[in-house]
Amino acid sequence: DAMVIQNPRYQVTQFGKPVTLSCSQTLNHNVMYWYQQKSSQAPKLLFHYYDKDFNNEADTPDNFQSRRPNTSFCFLDIRSPGLGDAAMYLCATSSLAGGGEQYFGPGTRLTVT
């Protein structure tokens, strides 16, 4: 089945220690997104790629970076995690041929100690 895969599902890192979250997709979608979701809050868009074109949200902290080396993979790098970065990180994909609907991976739960 075509799907969006995120690894790892759970990540524990130490305060200030860099961490990378990964996302892959077999849907062959042009657009990939990274969201941050904290408990009882809306998913917050961090950035997204149209193919290789990177789009950063204005309020995304510089501490968050992303890479998309090819159509299938996208990475979220948190350079110096703080306690406030503990959250669920969601990857989603969308096809430009569609109507804007996005399909989410299972998410990575990040804990910062």
Partner 1 sequence: QKEVEQNSGPLSVPEGAIASLNCTYSDRGSQSFFWYRQYSGKSPELIMFIYSNGDKEDGRFTAQLNKASQYVSLLIRDSQPSDSATYLCAVDTGRRALTFGSGTRLQVQP
Q: Which stretch binds partner 1 (CB under 8 A): 20-28, 67-75, 76-84, 104-112?
A: 104-112
Beta carbons of 1 and 102 less than 8 angstroms apart: no
Beta carbons of 81 and 110 less than 8 angstroms apart: yes
Beta carbons of 89 and 21 less than 8 angstroms apart: yes
Q: Quick check: 100 binds partner 1 (CB under 8 A)?
A: yes
Q: Quick check: 103 binds partner 1 (CB under 8 A)?
A: yes
Q: Quick check: 55 binds partner 1 (CB under 8 A)?
A: yes
Pick from 23, 21, 19: nearest CA to 71: 23
d(CA 6, CA 68): 14
Q: Quick check: 63 binds partner 1 (CB under 8 A)?
A: no
User: Which residues, 6+ apart, have CB-to-CB distance to 86 below 8 Å?
Assistant: 38, 110, 111, 112
Q: Which stretch binds partner 1 (CB under 8 A): 21-29, 67-75, 78-86, 93-101?
A: 93-101
* Candidate residues 34, 64, 105, 112; the one interacting with partner 1 per rule CB under 8 A: 105
Q: Quick check: 107 binds partner 1 (CB under 8 A)?
A: yes
* Residues in touch with partner 1 (CB under 8 A): 31, 33, 40-45, 48, 50, 55, 88, 90, 94, 96, 99-107, 109
